[in-house]
């Protein structure tokens, strides 16, 4: 079943094109990795999907409905933005941050969400006292608190150490495989995309490829194009 259908999406900022005729769809339980160099339009794409940009051409459908005609889909989407940085003295606790996305005070939902990211013991701590990797997991918990069907993550591990990154990816895999959450994730880490994603989309203003992950990782031309771009990716693990 198609959960998301993007058809001929075109976006310009003051006459400068950021996305041009982008068409692809996302099936239920896909784990889609979107790769592309800086400025490729990944955040712009997500902003359109989340209804933050509305002056685009083309159509975006979630669950078969044009998002211009209904905002119902937003309740089924969890969004994790690029890494926000918290000051040490930021006054909110982990539980308060996660609960911000709820309409009512529901401690049960907050603690279930924190369990999914292995932070249930840190609920009372101040967000600013947590490491970068832990903070990012708090934002996944926040995105999960309303039981979304789709999780959208925008380069979620920028600036996080490699151990935290592995744990973070482990959590995403569990959410996809065990909880059946469809994941749409933009990343510069081609190694991680190779390990995690079931589908790949290559974006650089236009869509160069969309298909199953194996197809992308066996396409020498595409790999060359996306590994030699400004992404500076490490491909040594995929040369066999
Ligand atoms: N608000 C804006 N006003 C003008 N131009 C913008 C705006 N937002 C993005 N752009 C431009 O649109 C293009 C796409 O940017 P976007 O942030 O969507 O790319 P990205 O793939 O998410 O990049 P990155 O990997 O660096 O986060 C870039 O050229 C960027 O400079």
- Confirm whether the ipTM is greater than 0.90: yes
Q: Residues 176, 199: contact at Cβ < 8 Å?
A: no
Contact (Cβ atoms closer than 8 angstroms) between residue 213 and residue 200 = yes
pTM of the model: 0.89
Which tokens sit at 178? 């065990």
Residue 233 has pLDDT above 70, yes or no: no
Span from the CA of 182 to the centroid of ligand 1 (angstroms): 25
pLDDT average, residue stretch 179-188: 94
**Residue reference for tokens 């989407």:** 77
Cα–Cα distance for residue pair 45/203, rounded to 1 Å: 10
21 lines ligand 1 (CB under 6 A): no
39 in contact with ligand 1, CB cutoff 6 A: yes
User: Token pair of 70, please?
Assistant: 């209904």
Residue 228 pLDDT class (50, 70, 90 cuts): low
237 pLDDT above the threshold of 50: no
Distance between Cα 215 and ligand 1 center (Å):
28
Structure token pair of residue 43: 């955040």
Give residue limits of the domains in the chain: 2-83+148-237
Q: Which of 216, 181, 223 is nearest to 199 (CA)?
A: 216
Higher pLDDT, 212 or 91: 212
| pLDDT value at 180 more than 50 | yes
Q: Ligand 1, atom 3: nearest CA belongs to which residue? A: 13
Share of the chain above pLDDT 90, in %: 64
Instruction: Give the pLDDT confidence of 12-24 residue by residue, as tens digits.
Output: 999 999 999 999 9
State the pLDDT at residue 160: 77
pLDDT in tens, 148-177: 999 999 987 777 778 888 888 999 999 999
Q: Whose CA is nearest to atom 28 of ligand 1?
A: 39
- pLDDT for 74-93, tens place per residue? 889 999 987 666 777 788 99
pLDDT of amino acid 189: 84
pLDDT score for 230: 43
With tokens 């989309």, the residue in question is 201
User: Does the pLDDT at position 234 exceed 50?
Assistant: no
> How many other CB atoms are there within 10 angstroms of residue 136's CB atom?
25
- For residue 122, which of 110, 106, 108 has the smallest C-alpha distance? 110
Instruction: Quote the ligand 1 centre to 19 CA distance (angstroms).
Output: 10
44 lines ligand 1 (CB under 6 A): yes
Burial of 132 (0-12, 13-18, 19+ CB in 10 A): middle
Mean pLDDT of the chain: 89
pLDDT of 194 higher than 60: yes
Q: Which CATH architecture has domain 2-83+148-237?
A: 3-Layer(aba) Sandwich (3.40)
- CB of 34 shorter than 6 A to ligand 1: no
DSSP 8-state code for residue 17: E
29-45: pLDDT as tens digits: 999 999 998 889 999 99
Pull the structure tokens for residue 17: 């094109």
CA distance 78 to 98: 12
Q: String of b and e for 138-173 (b: at least 16 CB within 10 Å)?
A: bbbbbbbbbebbbbbbbbbbeebeeebbebbbebbe
């Amino acid at each position: 079943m198609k959960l998301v259908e993007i058809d001929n999406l075109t976006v310009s900022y003051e006459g400068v094109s950021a996305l041009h005729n982008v068409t692809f769809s996302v099936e239920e339980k896909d784990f889609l990795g979107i790769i592309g160099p800086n400025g490729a339009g990944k955040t712009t794409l997500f902003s359109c999907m989340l209804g933050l940009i509305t002056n685009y051409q083309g159509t975006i459908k979630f669950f078969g409905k044009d998002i211009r005609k209904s905002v119902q889909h937003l309740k089924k989407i969890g969004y994790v933005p690029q890494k926000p940085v918290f000051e040490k003295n930021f006054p909110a606790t982990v539980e308060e941050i996660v609960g911000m996305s709820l309409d009512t005070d529901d401690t049960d939902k907050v603690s279930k969400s924190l369990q999914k990211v292995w932070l249930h013991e840190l609920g009372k701590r101040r967000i600013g006292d947590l490491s970068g990797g832990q903070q990012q997991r708090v934002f996944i918990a926040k995105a999960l608190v309303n039981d979304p069907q789709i999780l959208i993550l925008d380069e979620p591990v920028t600036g996080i150490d490699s151990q935290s990154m592995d744990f973070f990816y482990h959590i995403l895999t569990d959410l996809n495989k065990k909880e059946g959450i469809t994941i749409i994730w933009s990343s510069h880490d081609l190694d991680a995309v190779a390990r995690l994603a079931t589908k790949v989309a290559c974006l650089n203003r236009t869509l160069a490829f969309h298909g199953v992950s194996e197809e992308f990782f066996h396409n020498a031309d595409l790999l060359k194009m996306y590994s030699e771009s400004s992404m500076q990716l490490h491909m040594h693990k995929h040369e066999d």
